[in-house]
A and B are shown apart, each in its own frame.
Chain A
Amino acid sequence: MVSNESTATQLPRDAPRDAPRDAPRDAPSEAPEVICNNVTVEFTERREKTNGSAKSRRVLDDLRMTVAGGEIIGLIGASGCGKSTLLRSIAGLQPLTSGSISIEDKSINECRDRLSFVFQEAALLPWRTVIENVQLPWELQGAGNRKAAKEQAADLLRTVGLQDADHRKLPSQLSGGMKMRASLARSLILDPSVLLLDEPFAALDDMLRWRLNALVLDLWKSRKRTILFVTHNIAEAVFLSHRIAIMHQGKIAEWIDSEITEDRGESLRSSPDFARMYGHVSAKLSAITKATVS
């Protein structure tokens, strides 16, 4: 059901709907709930930009959000609305000015090893082979047996569609799509409970993006983890998300529940449900942006 609790033209002060809908079916207990309580993040602008006086800019403004375990949440909104900052805050990469973020009632620092992050670029170490890159989190966290890590890395690379011959290649020898696959495999090596994706497919062409969207869904089906992802692509948000959060000026301006209940195969993109949902999200996003401009 699409949330009608707020209208786009009258933006609510608080997030209109911060409670999660029911967790997706079959979501196992390892997929944790993520709660953001009144999260505010302010950036201090550099002095030379503000005529000598330090000035702060509020990027996240008293944001509240609850994500159920095993949910896929798509974060969309105009550039600068705070999507990536929210994701970085959940990952513990961005200090909060106020508020708190918890995962299953624990602070981020306590469960850092349960989180994984995929960046907009593949962020592979160019001097390491693909398989060595995938093993990196294991090495850094001292997670144990090197041989087991290697075997697991190879399995994951096969899962994301990279053949054995590619495992020993350097990143410079791979295409953009292959690098993103390797990056996805790396994010899964420690079997994280929460996967955070910051526009991971933004630089790829549509066909490749669709294939990798399907791959994310396959990974979710097999592992049922909590996934939050940032995108500027409405079709991607509709295809992947159980709920879409439209962000605006550091808040979640609108939650939209996905109406799509059928199995999300490639045929979904040409279905009436998909077109309707796409139109609905576009209209909401557009109305929210226009309301601010006017």
Chain B
Amino acid sequence: MKSNGLISIAAPVILFAVILSLWHWVVQFYEINPIILPGPIQVARSLWNEREVLATGFRTTGTAAIIGLLLSVLLGGAIAILFSLSSILRSAVYPYLIFLQTVPIVAIAPLLILWSGYNFRTVVLVTIIISIFPIVSNTTSGLLSINPNLRDLFRLNGASSLQTLNKLRIPAAVSHLVLGMRISCGLAVIGAIIGEFFVGNSSAYDGLGTIMTRWQGRNYTSGLIAAILVSTLLGIVFFVAVNQFSQRVLHRWTSASNLDGDR
């Protein structure tokens, strides 16, 4: 068991070292132009030199993604509850949610900027649009797929619609909401960065997306790769945070669906 644990830690570390070495060797051997592909040492140097700018970007993009995700959870949860209460409403609105999901966000973003401006609010709006669908879809499914025996138990005891919603449907949907959040947390980071690409050149904004746009314009490739690594780190932090929240705060509601055990 102990050796298994050691292997599970050592294996990815060794693979990472192999990839870095290979990357370094390829760049050196083929003398690749650093504007096309800088070596890992150069990227690490940029990561260190630009640490303050990247840390600020991490905070700004992280804040936009967190706010966008939280608003998606609140708004998506409310929409899901309304959907569970009215099949007519569900039939009427659901196709438009799918439409919202399928329209490329890059096509909507200029319109959002026109309406909302080159600011933080637009980034949050893009984040919500990208991350809300999995939350609505999963939570609605959780609210509607109730064990028939439990439904009968509530009927037998003369439970009101509000009691059934509060004491049965919403608690039963928590594990589905968490599944939706797991998908949406990655999408929220993507949404924030895409939003920042469009808010872009505004010097007042300093998110990771804006930094990437700026450095791309300067052919600062090693900085660009460093920013990509920081964005990835942000996505991982979000995923771990949602998992921790699910395990520590929502454990009671998620334990039965084995959400904590399927990682």
Residues of A within 8 A of B (CB): 88, 91-93, 112-113, 115-117, 119-121, 123, 125-127, 136-137, 139-141, 170-172
Contact = CB atoms under 8 A, between A and B. Distances in A.
Contacts of A115: 156
Interface in B167-213: 167-168, 171-172, 174
B156 A93 contact: yes
B158 A113 contact: yes
Contact of B163 (A123, A140, A170): A140
Nearest to B153: A123
A140 B150 contact: no
Contact of B157 (A121, A125, A140): A140
Interface SS majority for chain B = helix
Contacts of A126: 255-256
B256 A140 contact: no
B78 interface: no
Nearest to A190: B157
18 contacts: A91-B152, A92-B156, A112-B156, A117-B153, A117-B156, A120-B149, A121-B149, A123-B147, A123-B150, A125-B167, A126-B256, A127-B174, A136-B153, A136-B157, A139-B167, A141-B157, A170-B255, A172-B255
B248 to A, nearest CB: 15
A84 to B, nearest CB: 11
B154 A140 contact: yes
Contact of B252 (A93, A112, A170): A170
A121 B163 CA distance: 22
A137 B159 CA distance: 9
Interface residues of B, number: 21
A269 to B, nearest CB: 30
A127 B154 contact: no
A139 B157 CA distance: 9
Given A139-B167, A170-B252, A172-B255, A91 B156 contact: yes
A136 B153 CA distance: 10
Contact of B158 (A88, A121, A140): A140
B168 A125 contact: yes
A119 B149 contact: yes
B155 interface: yes
Interface string B48-85: 00000000000000000000000000000000000000
A140 B152 contact: no
Contacts of B167: 125, 136, 139-140
Given A112-B156, A127-B174, 20 more contacts: A93-B152, A112-B158, A113-B158, A117-B153, A117-B156, A120-B149, A123-B150, A125-B167, A125-B168, A125-B171, A126-B255, A127-B171, A127-B252, A140-B154, A140-B157, A140-B158, A140-B163, A141-B157, A141-B158, A172-B255
A175 to B, nearest CB: 15
A263 B252 CA distance: 44
B120 interface: no
B118 interface: no
A50 to B, nearest CB: 23
Interface string B104-145: 000000000000000000000000000000000000000000
Contacts of A123: 147, 149-150, 153
Contacts of B149: 119-121, 123
A186 to B, nearest CB: 9
A137 B158 CA distance: 9
Contacts of B153: 117, 119, 123, 136
B256 to A, nearest CB: 3
A119 B152 contact: yes
Contacts of A140: 154, 157-159, 163, 167
B158 A127 contact: no
